[in-house]
Amino acid sequence: MLNHSDDRRARRSRRLLKQGLSELLREKKFSDISVRDITDRMDMNRGTFYLHYTDTYDLLHNLEEDVLKDAQEVIDEHREEIKGVNTLKPIFSPLLDYIVEHRNVCESLFGNNASSDFIGKLHQLIYRNGSELICRRWLNAPKERMEYLMNFAAYGTIGLIRRWFDTNMGISKKDLLDMADRLINGAAVQLLGEPQQL
C-alpha cells in the first residue's frame, strides 16, 4: 500500500511533501490544510501524496518523527559525557543547538495551531534519556517517586524550552542550561534526598 522505498524520486517526493506542510503550517492552521494545498504548492500530483502517506495527519506525524529521531541521535552522540558529572549540559547543550538550527520546523510543531502529540513524544524522549541519569545517581530511591520526578522534570524541561523558544532565545544558552540544572537538581534533591553517588 504505502511506499517507503529508497528511490531518489520517492525521497524527493517525501521531502517536498514535508517541506510543503511545514511551510503551510506557518501560514495557516493545520485544520485548514488539505492534501491538495500541499501538492499544489509543491507542483506535484495529488495522487503522489497517497503513494507515501495516508492523510495529512500521517504526514505531520512523520515530520515529528524526523525531528525526534534527529534529537535522539544528538543525545546518543553525547551520552557518554554525562557519566560521572552532575549536570545535563553535555546533552542539553547540543540539543538546544539543534532546536535553534531547525527552528522553523520546531516552531511549527510547537505552535498551538499544530494538531499533534509532539509535546507527548518530546516528553517520552526526555523521560527515556533522563531516567538513566537519575537512576545512576539515586540507586536506591523508591521507583515510584523516581517516575513522578522524571515526569515532573521532563515536562518541566519542555516548559523551559518552550519559554526560551517563545521569547526568541532571549537569554544565553549558558543561562538556560544553568537554570535547567538547578531546577531539576533542586526538585530531585527535595524529593529523593541527597544523591548517593555522582
Partner DNA sequence: TGATTATAATAACATAATGTTGAATTGTCA
Partner DNA sequence: TGACAATTCAACATTATGTTATTATAATCA
Residue ranges binding DNA (CB under 7 A): 3, 5-10, 12-13, 34-37, 43-48, 50-52, 54-56
For residue 53, the minimal CB distance to DNA (Å) is 9
The answer to whether the CB of 71 falls within 8 A of the CB of 98 is: yes
Nearer to DNA, 39 or 108 (CB): 39
Using CB distances below 5 to 8 A depending on partner kind, what does residue 12 bind out of DNA, its own copies, none?
DNA
Q: Least distance from C-beta 20 to DNA, angstroms?
A: 12
| Residues in contact with 67: Cβ distance below 8 Å, sequence separation at least 6, in sequence order | 102, 105, 106, 109
Using the rule CB under 8 A, which residue among 40, 55, 73, 76 binds its own copies? 55
Is residue 153 involved in binding its own copies (CB under 8 A)? yes
Question: What grid cell was written down for 76?
Answer: 546518543
* Rg of the chain in Å (alpha carbons): 20
146-149: long-range pairs with CB below 8 Å, 24+: 146/192, 148/191, 149/187, 149/188, 149/191, 149/192
Q: Return the number of the residue (53 or 164) whose C-beta is nearest DNA.
A: 53
Say if residues 105 and 22 touch (Cβ distance below 8 Å).
Answer: yes
For the window 155-194, what string marks contact with its own copies as x by the rule CB under 8 A? xxxxxx-xx-------x----x--x--xxxxxxxxxx---
One of 78, 102, 103, 123 touching its own copies (CB under 8 A): 123
Q: Which is nearer to DNA, 12 or 128 (CB)?
A: 12
Tally of CB atoms within 10 A around 174: 10
Closest CA to 66 of 130, 112, 21: 21
As a whole number of angstroms, the distance between CA 26 and CA 21 comes to 9
Residues that bind its own copies (CB under 8 A): 29-31, 55, 57, 112-113, 115-117, 119-120, 123, 144-145, 147-149, 151-160, 162-163, 171, 176, 179, 182-191
